[in-house]
């Protein structure tokens, strides 16, 4: 399958990878840039602790958001110069506050731009392309749109 990127981009359907803490199962989805829910994150740091054994990509930062469940105003930030997109931080979150998104256009000209502060992680991913992927029995995977 060949895409005429960036003119043609995949339309990745559905939410990105996330974890259901109640049932203890990971739910399939694309592992792109993280999405942080400010209404759920408690600042417990478990995501950062999980990443310490992998890539040390998460740093907890203080940012005033006045959310009742996060009185310390402590939020994760992710350095995409280090992240390997394994999803272990998502699995470690007991509050379903951290998931991964369909945002895969993360390249930058300098390392500083790869550091996503908590407020950047809270922004939903942008609209994606229109190239749908379809499986054709004879030709294999084909795109259209």
Query: Which residues bind to ligand SF4, rule: CB under 6 A?
Result: 41-47, 50-51, 54-55, 57-58, 76, 78, 83-89, 92-93, 95, 97-98
CB of 39 to ligand SF4, least distance (A): 11
CB of 19 to ligand SF4, least distance (A): 10
Residue 55 vs 133, nearer CB to ligand SF4: 55
3/123 with CB nearer ligand SF4:
123
- Name which of 114 and 133 has its Cβ closer to ligand SF4: 114
Instruction: Measure the CA–CA gap between 40 and 20, rounded to whole angstroms.
Output: 13
What number of other Cβ atoms are within 10 A of residue 87's Cβ? Answer: 21
Separation between Cα atoms, residue 118 and residue 74, nearest integer Å: 9
- Give 20's strand partners: 25
Report in angstroms how near the CB of residue 143 gets to ligand SF4 at its nearest: 27
d(CA 129, CA 42): 34
Q: Measured from the CB of residue 52, what is the shortest distance to ligand SF4 in angstroms?
A: 9
* Closest of 129, 112, 130, 109 to residue 120, by C-alpha: 112
Of 78 and 131, the one with the shorter C-beta distance to ligand SF4 is 78
Nearest to 95 by CA among 52, 43, 54: 43
């Amino acid at each position: 399958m060949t895409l005429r990127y960036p003119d043609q981009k995949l339309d990745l359907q559905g939410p990105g990878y996330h974890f259901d803490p109640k049932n203890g199962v990971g739910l399939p989805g694309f592992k792109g840039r993280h999405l942080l829910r400010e209404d759920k994150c408690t600042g417990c740091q478990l995501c950062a602790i999980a990443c310490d054994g992998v890539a040390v990509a998460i740093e907890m930062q203080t940012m005033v958001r006045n959310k009742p469940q996060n009185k310390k105003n402590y939020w994760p930030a992710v350095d995409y110069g280090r992240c390997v997109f394994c999803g272990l931080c998502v699995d470690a979150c007991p509050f379903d506050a951290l998931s991964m998104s369909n945002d895969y256009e993360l390249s930058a000209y300098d390392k500083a731009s790869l550091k996503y502060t908590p407020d950047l992680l809270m922004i939903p991913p942008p609209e994606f392309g229109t190239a749908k992927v379809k499986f054709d029995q004879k030709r294999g995977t084909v795109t259209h749109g």
